[in-house]
Structure 1
Amino acid sequence: MPRGRRAGVRRYLTGDHVFAQLIRFAAVGGSSNIAYVLLFMALTEIGPLAANVAGSLVSTVIANELHRRLTFRAAGGVGWFKAQCEGGALAMIGMLISTAALAGLEFWAPGLGDATQALALVALMAAVGGARFLILRVFVFRA
């Protein structure tokens, strides 16, 4: 890619428009998922439940801070504690929705295959992630 084009792409991705924020939101989400998996794997000796809780807490804190500083560039206007409380509450709501959806699928459609169930969960998580992005953008970080 030519140098001028790279600079233009970089400028675009570091902008404050909604699409650039959405790209950064997805990158932060992917990074925090990787952090979760690594932490989970490192802590499996203490048991999968404890490793899951620790991985979830740490990766959520990391994601909330990266969203505050990088995704929405709100570090000057939104404090760390507020970002953690509100972002953490949204993450917990998302987890409750996905858990309820899995239970609902099992109850209302017990014959679904694993692939269909996984596809439904991916679609739901995409919707939850989109809603989380909009709520963070509009209400928490006011971008």
Structure 2
Amino acid sequence: MTCPALLRRRQEAATGSEGDVAQGPLQPVAEVAHVASERLRRDDTLGQFVRFVLVGGSSTALYALLFLGLESLGYLAAHIVATVASSILANELHRRTTFHADERVGWLAAQVEAGGVSLFGLVTTSVALGWLDASVGAAHPVLQILLVVTVTGLIGLIRFVALRWIFRPTGAPAQ
């Protein structure tokens, strides 16, 4: 039997202990949360991809806050500052949490490797914002952010592939 929840129930029944899983009406929710948490910690492709998306969402939220806070500088300046800051954060979080590479890859190496893809993203999203500005004129900041999020999502897939399979240390297996 490989289901952790069922194994835990058998162990608890045998020992009479309840472990750290909530009892009562919230027990199913606690069990699902525990299984999801265990799944998220794995270093296989799915676990890394979910962590990658969570880090990407967090850094995108930082981007949006900075972009809105700096919009008085103009869309391009706000975009560049917000992209650089959110990319540095994302690169570090990917190094530490997404790929658990903090012992194998230094901070600077991670910034350089992922920074190349981030630079590609910065140029691509800047071109997209320029196109939007030329097409629509002064577009609402929410529309600008939506455009950047869409383009960034597509580039994020490229970034995941690059970080997962291209920039992995020599001899490290791709699971």
Band of TM-score, shorter chain: 0.7 to 0.9
Q: Percent identity?
A: 36
1:10 alignment partner in structure 2: 37
Q: How does 1:124-135 map to 2 (within 5 A)?
A: 126-135=153-162
Question: Where do 1:1-143 residues align within 5 Å?
Answer: 1-97=28-124, 122=150, 126-142=153-169
One-letter identity of the residue aligned with 1:133 = F
Structure 1: runs of 5+ lacking an equivalent: 105-109, 111-117
Of structures 1 and 2, the larger Rg is shown by: 2
The number of residues matched between the two structures is 129
More helix by share: 1
Partner letter of residue 36 of structure 1? Answer: Y
Give the match's secondary structure for 1:35: helix
- Quick one: distance in 2 between partners of 1:133 and 1:68? 12
The 1:128/1:47 distance shift into structure 2, 3 A limit, reads closer
Distance in structure 1 (CA, Å) of the matches to 2:123 and 2:44: 30
Aligned to 2:6: none
Kindly state the Cα deviation for residue 26 of structure 1 after the two structures are TM-superposed.
Answer: 0.8
Normalising by structure 2, what TM-score?
0.62
Deviates more, 1:8-17 or 1:46-55: 46-55
**What TM-score comes out, normalization by structure 1 length?**
0.75
Distance in 1 separating the partners of 2:100 and 2:114? 15
1:138/1:13 CA distance change after superposition, 3 Å: same
Shift of 1:97: 4.6
**What RMSD in Å do the two structures reach over aligned CA positions?**
2.8
CA distance in 2, matches of 1:125, 1:59: 12
Distance 2:83 2:126 in 1: 14
The amino acid across from 1:41 in the alignment is: L
Structure with bigger RCO (C-alpha 8 Å, 6+ apart): 1
The CA distance in 1 between the partners of 2:82 and 2:58, in whole Å, is: 13
**Distance (Å, rounded) in 2 between the aligned partners of 1:5 and 1:29:** 24
